[in-house]
Amino acid sequence: MTSSCHNGAREQRAVRPEVWRFGEVSSALDVGHTLARRGLLAPWQSVLVSSQRQGRGQLRRNWVSPAGNIYAALRLPMQEPFAGSAASTVTGAMLAATLGKLGFAVRLKWPNDLVVQDGDAPAKVAGILLEERAGVLLAGIGINVAWAPPAESLRTGAAMPAKALVPGPEKSQKIFLTAESLWYQLVNCLFCEYSTGGSLKKNWKDLAESFLLWRGSCVCLDDGDEVVEGILTGLCHDGGLCLSRNGRQEVFYSGSLRLSHHH
């Protein structure tokens, strides 16, 4: 079976990666690791589930997972640019670029969230969690397609509100979109870009920076122990966040990012 994906004016064709479909499960990542252990999940193959009882996000936080959204686990190849610390940022950048080609304007909130503009402020529409077990690298990907958790259900101090990719008033203006059909489009184009582009290993940083939220703005980075403030200048070659502070460039590898009141 073949599927096309567009890259500028060119149309590339590649074998469609297999997608395993399940109903309600503990989590897509758990199912993905089980299939991989059994030799049933090759790189770029994925698991898509209708809902999760124990979906997880960053820092093992619960990821609320009702039906209607994308809850997937995508196996990534254990080679550059996915073999190092930039893997989640690379995955986020590829997703942002692919969603853009499908008509959804999203930005990358370092290191692994996708956001859309909701009025004057950004709102989270997707998150990525990478897990490696026994040499198998899976990207857990959650995308709010038709539903987003309300503000009162988010954890206290959450960096930003959540929003659906296709909010209610806009659904009638777009082609009917289901989580399943969107995932097939996304995973086909991700694989196509990787397998036919040939430049991802070299150009991932430029791609990620082109979608980087708040680049050039004053931001605060909270890693739990301290909050640092600086101008977000871009990304390091290994996926770290570059901040200009007191005339010096400093690199950070973890923390929750927000816009500074001094911007």
User: Can you give the residue ranges of every domain in the chain?
Assistant: 19-211, 217-259
Q: What gap in Å lies between CA 76 and CA 149, rounded to an integer?
A: 28
pLDDT exceeds cutoff 70 at 176: no
3-state secondary structure 115-133: EEEECCEEEEEEEEEEEEE
* pLDDT, tens digit, 9 for 90 and up, residues 189-207: 999 888 876 678 889 999 9
Tokens of 216: 């050039």
What's the confidence (pLDDT) of residue 15?
Answer: 64
217-259 — its CATH code? Answer: 2.30.30.100
Place of tokens 């086909």: 188
Q: Highest mean pLDDT: which of 42-56, 190-204, 205-219?
A: 205-219
**Contact 116/123 with Cβ under 8 angstroms?**
yes
Mean pLDDT of 204-225: 93
Separation of first and last alpha carbons in the chain: 50
Cβ neighbours of residue 183 under 8 Å, at least 6 residues apart? Answer: 19, 46, 48, 70, 72
pLDDT exceeds cutoff 60 at 8: no
Round the average pLDDT of the chain to a whole number and report it.
84
pLDDT exceeds cutoff 70 at 141: yes
* Sign of the Cα pseudo-torsion (149, 168, 127, 229, in order): negative
pLDDT exceeds cutoff 70 at 159: no
What's the confidence (pLDDT) of residue 193?
Answer: 85
**CB neighbours of residue 160 within 10 Å:** 19
pLDDT exceeds cutoff 70 at 174: no
Tokens of 17: 């990666």
159 vs 138, more confident: 138
What's the confidence (pLDDT) of residue 220?
Answer: 95
Residue 190's H or E segment, with its range, is: helix 179-197
Task: Determine what percent of the chain is predicted with pLDDT higher than 70.
Answer: 81
0.95 surpassed by pTM: no
What's the confidence (pLDDT) of residue 158?
Answer: 54
Task: Give the confidence band of 87 by pLDDT, cuts at 50, 70, 90.
Answer: very high
What's the confidence (pLDDT) of residue 116?
Answer: 93
pLDDT exceeds cutoff 50 at 12: no
**CB neighbours of residue 10 within 10 Å:** 8
Q: What gap in Å lies between CA 161 and CA 262, rounded to an integer?
A: 21
What's the confidence (pLDDT) of residue 13?
Answer: 46
What's the confidence (pLDDT) of residue 196?
Answer: 75
User: What fold is seen in the domain 19-211?
Assistant: BirA Bifunctional Protein; domain 2 (3.30.930)
pLDDT exceeds cutoff 70 at 151: no
